[in-house]
């Protein structure tokens, strides 16, 4: 989930805590049984940042798949042994201009970046490509 504010001129990046791998990322998480990807995105957004936002269907930025081997061992153990890759559906939520996140245990820091700084800060190339797709599609 990409969180932006100030008409997309700022992108929220979150620093993963040591238990999560220690890198800069965006709001992310898995789909729980009975949830759609959209419902999971809204839930994860609230859990990880405190932001309650309604994301509408059809606002997917992109989808991509990455190998589970890219995750830390602790994270890989949370998946069924038959799972070898993770499918990601990216959404965007616009935060109010003055809003600041309340981080959960998964994160120990955050920053608002201009889009170029966000691209330079994010760890995973797939996340960077999804952000670039979002920025390319943004009006203005």
- Taking only the tens place, the pLDDT of each residue in 90-112 is 888 999 999 999 999 999 999 99
- Domain span at residue 55 reads 2-137
Output the domain CATH number for residue 67. 3.90.79.10
- How many domains does the chain fold into? 1
List Cα–Cα distances, 31 to 36, 99, 137, in angstroms. Answer: 7, 26, 26
pLDDT, mean of residues 74-85? 76
Specify the higher pLDDT residue, 73 or 36.
Answer: 36
Q: What is the pLDDT of residue 139?
A: 57
For the stretch 25-69, pLDDT in tens is: 999 888 888 998 889 999 999 999 999 988 766 666 777 777 777
List Cα–Cα distances, 78 to 10, 20, 85, 126, in angstroms. Answer: 32, 12, 13, 21
pLDDT, mean of residues 116-139? 86
For the stretch 122-131, pLDDT in tens is: 988 888 998 8
Q: What is the pLDDT of residue 8?
A: 85
Token couple for 45: 């957004």
Q: What is the pTM of this model?
A: 0.82
Residues of the chain above pLDDT 70, percent: 94
Residues of the chain above pLDDT 90, percent: 42
If DSSP states are collapsed to H, E and C, what string results for 39-90? Answer: HHHHHHHHHHHCCCCCCCCCCCCEEEEEEHHHCCHHHHCCCCCCCCEEEEEE
Mean pLDDT of the chain: 86
């Amino acid at each position: 989930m990409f969180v932006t504010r100030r008409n997309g001129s700022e992108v929220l990046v979150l620093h993963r805590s040591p238990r999560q791998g220690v890198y800069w990322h965006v709001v992310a998480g898995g789909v729980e049984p009975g949830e759609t990807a959209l419902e999971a995105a809204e839930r994860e957004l609230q859990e990880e940042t405190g932001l309650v936002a309604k994301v509408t269907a059809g606002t997917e930025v992109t989808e991509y798949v990455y190998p589970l081997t890219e995750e830390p061992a602790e994270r890989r153990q949370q998946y069924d042994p038959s799972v070898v890759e993770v499918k990601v559906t990216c959404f965007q939520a616009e935060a109010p201009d003055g809003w600041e996140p309340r981080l959960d245990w998964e994160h120990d820091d955050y920053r608002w970046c201009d889009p170029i700084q966000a691209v330079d800060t994010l760890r995973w190339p797939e996340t960077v490509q999804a952000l670039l797709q979002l920025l390319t599609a943004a009006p203005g």
